[in-house]
């Protein structure tokens, strides 16, 4: 128990549950259409900002606004990917901000 009289783990759990409910509601309303690719972890962000997933199907769906906030704080290691593009093409093949090395 924290010095404030509440359990910090329980508080984090409540926040995570609220985010998950918000994501589910947004998905039901057709708002959620962005995935986040992590070049650092070579994986998609999981639902509820909790870990990473290998497949597009298991990846979290985020509103463009929330994904923008996340990516702005982690750029260039995390990027937003439109859901339709991710479903069609899968994971990004190369980092768009790393210079390609030409072979001689």
C-alpha 2/C-alpha 71 separation (Å) is 31
What is the chain's Cα-based Rg? 16
pLDDT digits (tens, 9 = 90+) for 14-63: 777 777 776 666 666 665 689 999 999 999 999 999 999 999 999 999 99
Write down the pTM of the prediction: 0.65
Q: Are 37 and 79 in contact (CB under 8 A)?
A: yes
pLDDT band at 75 (very low <50, low <70, confident <90, very high): confident
Q: Residue range 67-95: average pLDDT? A: 89
Q: Are 49 and 25 in contact (CB under 8 A)?
A: no
Instruction: For residue range 6-28, list pLDDT tens digits in order.
Output: 788 888 887 777 777 766 666 66
- Whether the CB-CB separation of 46 and 61 falls below 8 Å is answered with no
């Amino acid at each position: 128990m924290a010095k404030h009289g509440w359990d910090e783990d329980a508080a984090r759990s409540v926040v995570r549950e609220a985010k998950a409910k918000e994501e589910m509601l947004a998905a039901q309303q057709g708002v959620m259409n962005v995935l986040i690719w992590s070049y650092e972890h070579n994986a998609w962000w999981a639902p509820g900002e909790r870990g990473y997933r290998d497949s597009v199907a298991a990846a979290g769906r985020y509103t463009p606004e929330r994904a923008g906030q996340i990516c702005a704080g982690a750029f260039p290691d995390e990027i937003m990917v439109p859901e339709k593009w991710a479903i069609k093409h899968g994971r990004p093949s190369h980092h768009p901000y790393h210079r390609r090395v030409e072979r001689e």
